[in-house]
Structure 1
Amino acid sequence: MDVIWILLALAAVVVGYVIVTFNQLVSLRNRVREAWSDIQVQMKRRYDLIPNLVETVKGYAGHERGTLESVVKARGEAMANTGDPASQARSENMLQATLKSLFALVENYPQLKADANFAKMQADLTDTENRIKMARRYYNGSVRDLNIKVEQFPSNLVARQFSFVQAQFFELDEDEAVAASRPVRVDFGAQRS
């Protein structure tokens, strides 16, 4: 009789552990999804700011068509990319590089830098970039927490049983990080028509 009670108690502990671990995994997975959604909201905000920024620059520096077209093209590719975080990170890195080129171009146009609308758009874009960085940090922290739970023993047994998988981090590849840190080369002579 005592053996039966011990086995029932042990079974209750195992079932309780599975339930608690399953709920923790669901919570972590939903936190990752929510964090990814936050990143997408901020990226959309940036995508919405870029056309007005390009039009303002075009008014002052219309002959810099190549740079402006590359910003518009990178924005379009980033907006169209709905792949995994690694794929979207590549698109976002390209967009950031073209925006960096755009702001390097602006340095040669003091009237544009003094334009109130441009200054506000630039401040809004900077604020959005900061929000994306914060959202990226939160997302990557949530991914880390989920991945730890999916990998650690014995929670990995529950994760495997209920098909919980590791999430991808949203970060720069090493080559892209190096490329993004290089100074932008702007050649105004070659761009003029």
Structure 2
Amino acid sequence: MKLILIPLIIAVILIVWFIATMNGLRRRRVQIDESLSGIDVALTKRYDSLTKIMQTAKAFAAHETELLTKVIDLRSGMTMAKRREAEALTNAMAERVSFLAEAYPELRSSETYRQLQLAVVDAEEHLQAARRLYNSNVSAFNQAIVSFPKSLVAGFLGMQPLDFFRAEDAKREDVKIDL
């Protein structure tokens, strides 16, 4: 009887460990999805701020909103590559706003414009924090699925390492400031 009981106890312990490990890995995956949603929220906030700043700028100069429409189309259901593309378009829109401000000094002096610029800066800070949280969660997940013995469960479940949110190559270069 004792000989049957020992393997049974070991089997129960292994099953409980497997289930606990599987649930832990799935919780980490949910955390990653949540932090990715945080990036979406920050991108939306930045987009909304830039949209308002563009509307303010349009009061001073009439310009087309082609980039805004592209960003709206790209925002829903994006892969990481699509998110990078949307971010690049939003960055281009931000550059256009800066050029408008240079072309129209009275726009820069507008209180509404200054408040919107502060909102954009705030949105950028939230976006950076959301990216850091996402990368932290991806790092923890990737470490968990490659560490033995959790790698056995991750392999059984078909879990693969996830990509980090990386900066575009252009943003990795030193900024040249001409005074």
**TM-score normalized by structure 2?**
0.83
Determine helix, strand or coil for the equivalent of 1:107. helix
- Percent identity, aligned pairs only, is 27
Name the CA distance, whole Å, in 2 between partners of 1:26 and 1:14: 18
Give the corresponding residue for 2:79: 84
Name the CA distance, whole Å, in 2 between partners of 1:3 and 1:79: 66
- Number of aligned positions between the proteins: 176
Question: Residues 46 and 128 of structure 1 are in contact (CA less than 8 Å); yes or no, is this contact kept in structure 2?
Answer: yes
Instruction: Provide closer, same or farther for how the CA distance between residues 169 and 50 of structure 1 changes in structure 2, counting only shifts above 3 A.
Output: same
- Amino acid of the structure 2 residue aligned with 1:152: S
Q: CA RMSD in A?
A: 2.5
Give the corresponding residue for 2:54: 54
Structure 2, unaligned runs of 5 or more: none
| Residue range with higher mean Cα deviation, 116-125 or 93-102 | 93-102
**TM-score normalized by structure 1?**
0.78
Instruction: Provide closer, same or farther for how the CA distance between residues 176 and 2 of structure 1 changes in structure 2, counting only shifts above 3 A.
Output: farther
Per-residue CA shift, 1:10-60, capped at 9, x if unaligned? 212211210110111111011111111111122122222223211211222
Name the CA distance, whole Å, in 2 between partners of 1:9 and 1:16: 11
Structure 1, unaligned runs of 5 or more: 185-193
The reply on whether 1:3 has 2:6 as its aligned counterpart is no
Give the corresponding residue for 1:36: 36
How much has 1:104 moved relative to structure 2?
4.2
